[in-house]
Structure 1
Amino acid sequence: MTSLAHGSDVVAAARAAPDVFLQVTSVRAEQDGERAATYGGPLAGVPYAVKDVFDLAGTRTSGASRFFDGRPVARQDAEAVRRIAAAGGVCIGKTTLSELAYSGLGVNDRFGTPTLQRDGVDHIVGGSSSGSAAAVQAGIVPVALGSDTSGSARIPAAWTGIFGFRPSLGRYPDEGMLPLAPTLDTVGILAADAATLLTTDAVLAADPREPGAAGPTTFVLPHDEYLESCDSAVLERFHATIDRLRSYGVRFERRRVESLDITRSIHAQHLAIVEEEALAAYGRHFERNPELFGAPVRRRLERARTRARERSAEPLRQAMPALRAQYRRELGDAILVSPPVEIDAPTLEQVRSSPEAEDALNARALRLTMALSYLDSPSAVMPAHTASLQLSATSGEDHRVLTAVAHFDTLIP
């Protein structure tokens, strides 16, 4: 875990990344550093960044949207920020995101689109917590706050090769966080390594337990049909990583988890909960003044408005308790291991080639994470061998997931 040995260097690095940081809080960083030096804490002196959906005292929470241009400055920190600050964390600034956190791609033409170059070509980093993931991947901070509704922390973690975690609903406090779809919204963590992820989880959850030994944990692989929409390259790396783990003595069993299949089927037939709740929050403003929103959000709100005339999210909302109970019966104490995303990070050119291409890529980016959100499955993404893995359990079994992350992290360099 990196401490703030050279605070001015970290602030300078943040200022040099305008597509990542919307605001750099140098005065706050200095104050936090002084407090950490005096009082210590499990994150003493550790620099962190905050996705700009969280209130940070003295700054305006923008949601990376023109819609919030007139929002007043926050008077106090969001509770998640307050807990990290109380643990000694040093806030460097606020990061960009998909507008209103309403996309899995992380593209934002007005506020900044972080990218990674591969072979001289710009690739997107995923969203909606794009800036937080980019700040960690670039080594500016070792940890950042994100949010995760349908995959917003896990997708960019996978595409940037870092750690990302979506907890069970209610594990972390969400007071002072801009909502998108309150039924599914959670605080998320983006971290450079497993130790930082586990420490930050303990701070946010007020859960000081250390991860235990992995013990006789059962690791479950989803059936082939569940992964049939994955690109071949994604599957090849996933299976190569599973084979590597097997060579280290990890045992996997293939199991059909029908609750996942049913959830995806119901989601496809009805209005998505995210669509319904985003439309409820922003629909009347969209109708009065659509120019308040960027083009991707306008398309999603218009689509939700059109679909809402014939469909409802209520069947899915009503089915969730039974589906979560079925998921618990089917998975039990096991850990589900799957790819986090069915496609590799697209190029920025691919995303911008047409609105239809962007929307199709967004749908594919969210496919493997969204069903787990509906099932309230705590899920961690971690780099391993040649792939990123998603480790998931049943609601409330966050500690079991994080123990598995720590175990896998010791096996694969």
Structure 2
Amino acid sequence: MKRHFKLTTALLVLSAVLVGCNDSETAGKAPAGAGAGAERPPSPVSVVVMKKAEQPLTSLLPGRAAAFQVAEIRPRVSGIIKEIAFKEGNEVKEGTLLYKIEDDTYRAQVAQAEASLAKAEAGVPSAEANLARYERLVGSGATQIEFENAKVTLLQAKADVAEAKAALNAAQINLDLTEIHAPFEGVTSASNFSIGNVVTANQTDALTTLRRLDPIYIELTESSANLLRLKQAIAAGRMSDGDETADIKLTLEDGIEYPHVGKLDMSEMAVSETTGTYSIRAVFDNPDNLILPGMYVRATVTVGKENGYLIPQRAANRDARGELTAKFVNAEGVVETRTFAESAVSGNNWLVTEGIADGDKLIVDGFQWIGDGAPVAPVEATVDDKGFVVETPKAPETSPAAKP
């Protein structure tokens, strides 16, 4: 029995040795390319082929909206407010009645002035007749002094008439000023006075404020340092001056782009001593009163043009020194990072003039997970005008293989 156990054990050991030899032979016969197949294939990345062209240089400026016209409505005569004829906060047309002041006193002044004018006019015919009589009697009983006195009396009578007419005109003006009308089309604010309140001529407190909102002004600020750099670039011939009639685009506080474009209205020819900025004013159509005075906005202004290459903002980063960086696919098909010491803004892109050549491939999508030296498979793509969506052309469809 012991011999049987020893024989069984020997057979098991021999079987294990034979199996090991077979596995070794099988591994040795494995294809030599199996290890190479474990390497990762090149990662596909979306690229844009660079091409130099003249591009607009833009500047993103902060700004505030301001009414196109503003008028603080004040009374020009004193009295008690009899009527408020407008609805607060609504639009009114030019000439619309806003306030009515009690006019009894002013009507009485007009009547008194009319009576004074009638009295003055009544004295003119008598003075004219007296002058004519003395003129006939000069040299035959009337003295020259009497004739001269009659002439002066007529002149005084006519002067009294002119004075009475002026008084009547002033009284009529004051009567008309008891009605306060809108000087232009606009939107009213809340009324600061109520019916029955006493107001005085040219008082400090305004009755209400009228604002014209269509069109509307946008007051922008730009640093004087940027202005100097712009002038130096133009003087050096590196770029052309911006067109003052170029469109200006707005972005509202909620991030929505304003549908209307504006035009440059004026720029201040002085720099603020406290902030080091100068002011630019643009004018925009505002038919729906979407922009209200005091709103904060951001404006994209074209300040010039320069030849260079556009790098979409989505494809760029900033290093620790604040310099612009972007990743490219070089001639060997691997990733390399390029740094640009100088860059400018052109819409939703960065504009650079050095470090790129026509035909270079800029990685615009997929670069977040790859490093320098990594092999990649570039796929040409396009970036839309807003610089956010990458549209990759679809590969052409292939016909199915013919069946044998």
Q: TM-score range by the shorter chain?
A: under 0.3
Structure (1/2) with the larger helix percentage = 1
More relative contact order, 1 or 2 (CA 8 Å, 6+ apart)? 2
Q: Whose strand proportion is higher, 1 or 2?
A: 2
State the TM-score, normalized to the length of structure 2: 0.22
TM-score by length of 1: 0.21
- Higher CA-based Rg: 2
